[in-house]
Amino acid sequence: MHSESGTRPGRTATAARRRRRTRVALGAAVALAAINPLTFSGVAGATPAATAAEPVAYPAQDTPPASEHWTTQTVAPGVQVRTGVIERADAAPSWTVTVQAPAVNRLTGAATWSDVGSRTWAETTAQQLRDAGFQPVVQQVPWPDYADTPHGTMGWRVRVGSYTAQAEAQSASHKVGAAGFRSVAAWSGYDADQPADRESVHVAVIDPRTFDGTVESTHNGDVAEREKTSAVAAQLGSLVAVNGGFFITSDADGVQGTPAAAAAYDGALESMAAGTRAALLLEDGGRHIRITDVSTEVTARAGSSTYAVEGINRVPGKVRNCGRPGAVPTEQPRQDLTCSKTDDLVRFTSRFGAGLPTGPGTQAVLDATGRVLSAGARGGTVRPGGSVLQGIGSAADWLADHARPGERITVKEAVRDAEGRRVELGPGDSMVSAAPTLVKDGRIDIDAAGEGTLDPQDLSFGYAWSNVRQPRTMAGIDKRGRLLLVTVDGRQPGVSEGFTLAEAASFMRSLGAVDALNLDGGGSTAMAVGGTLVNTTSDATGERPVGDTVQVLPAGRD
């Protein structure tokens, strides 16, 4: 392994960029992103592998710059990992108290709360706080630079106080709550409109032209199992690994570990898409890589009769992240919402290692050729090499009418890209999906509303997920065809605060990504090098067991 280290100043947003409507929200992201960690110059003793690019010219700076320290590790020919710490001397985050606005979930009608409200609410609440003896501050929150959301002001935020310690903010929040307000202690360094003081970033660069191994997404043989990214990496002898797509984390939403987005491993479709969402396609063992929105369509046929399959390896009637026809309360993608279906046909593959769901409905047990072995009550397990169809509602009626022992039910699958072209999956092909798209055709293009990570008509949904700094995992492809796997730690005040979606997009673009997407993040964010976790995860219990992962595997492994 080869390593090097160096420091140099980064750039901040220019005055022209700051005059854009998203000047405040994106300014910090540009300052972070401008370091271009794929370029290293002026470092004594640097090897050609780490200094292939020319020095970067930076524009004149009109605000204090970020400072960075980067180390580069050559893990294998064509595989490098760059580790960076980015700091802003002008950042001055503190603990504070956020007063929350009452809200109603637009889809479910459930009462909830939002960190951002209307101007009328903010002004009224601020006056009530003053009357109660507090000194509130009302802050305007702009819309980030998304491709499919409004421009201008998103809403208004009400804050009380500035504290050096979390305990002080929590104590103040209790006093605000006792006065009749809903409040939480908050770290202002997570705000998109303030510069982050410190970020810890890992960037893995895989060049398929010189790397002789493979890159694949995997669920390690069982789609109903959760495993730590580093544990899978160690088991497989992986060079580099990151966590992958969205997955079920609660029994209330389905079977834990199963994907909640489109997923394919070694050419087999193991989960259907939530509407049309971004996906990383690793074809021919990662020899060909692309990022595109994907949709999926699956149909079961018995004789001349057909029925649409709306799920693979999930509990019938439960659709995590929604995005399937007939689902309520919405057929559109909706992050972290579980929709329901009363008529639902679901396919289970031999990679579903858990016991099959039970309950009302019926199922058909099929062999490898689609021949019906038995039909009846739901339950049991999937036979090796076989599959099971489970139906509820009208789908159960269809199975009861057509799943006759000895007859065949054929299942046809279609995966399509953003242009509607069919994606042919074969051996060595894999796919991992999440949301949203960050960069498209070399431009920042975040379709957060379309991919269901926020709702412009309901600020109680997705605000923190999309617009507050969080730990994140991203994947991108640069113009040289190199795969970029990136993690940023977060939820660690003063240590690493994370990225907003807009900052994630800016950072990926700064690396030279022409296409990029957001993978699963938060407590799932993890990167392992040589089977060892290298980032600091945000869950209090340590590294989180996840669903699928992306593994960079050496050539010649068993």
pLDDT in tens, 244-271: 999 999 999 999 999 999 999 999 999 9
Token pair of 31 as six digits: 């300052």
Kindly indicate the confidence band of residue 66, based on its pLDDT and cuts at 50, 70 and 90.
confident
> If you write DSSP's letter for every residue of 303-342 in order, what string do you get?
TTEEEEE-EESS-TTEEEEE-STT-BS-SSEEEEEEEE-S
Cα–Cα distance for residue pair 194/26, rounded to 1 Å: 9
Helix (H) or strand (E) holding 178: helix 166-178
Average pLDDT, the chain: 90
Compare 105 and 47 and report the one with higher pLDDT. 105
SS3 of residue 462 by DSSP:
coil
Compare 39 and 8 and report the one with higher pLDDT. 39
Which residues neighbour 215 within 8 Å (Cβ) at sequence distance 6 or greater? 206, 208, 282, 285, 286, 289, 483, 550, 551, 552, 553
Kindly indicate the confidence band of residue 7, based on its pLDDT and cuts at 50, 70 and 90.
very low
Cα–Cα distance for residue pair 526/206, rounded to 1 Å: 17
Kindly indicate the confidence band of residue 23, based on its pLDDT and cuts at 50, 70 and 90.
very low
| pLDDT reported for residue 547 | 98
Instruction: Give the residue extent of every domain in the chain.
Output: 67-90+195-206+434-553, 95-190, 246-423
> If you write DSSP's letter for every residue of 258-313 in order, what string do you get?
SBSS-EEETTEEEE--SSSEEEEEEETTTTEEEEEEEEEEEEEEETTEEEEE-EES
Rg (CA), the chain: 25
| pLDDT reported for residue 52 | 32
Compare 15 and 333 and report the one with higher pLDDT. 333
Query: Residue 462 region, left (φ>0) first, then alpha (ψ -120 to 50), else beta?
Result: left
Cα–Cα distance for residue pair 370/366, rounded to 1 Å: 5
Residue 15 has pLDDT above 50, yes or no: no
| pLDDT reported for residue 41 | 28
Token pair of 442 as six digits: 């070399």
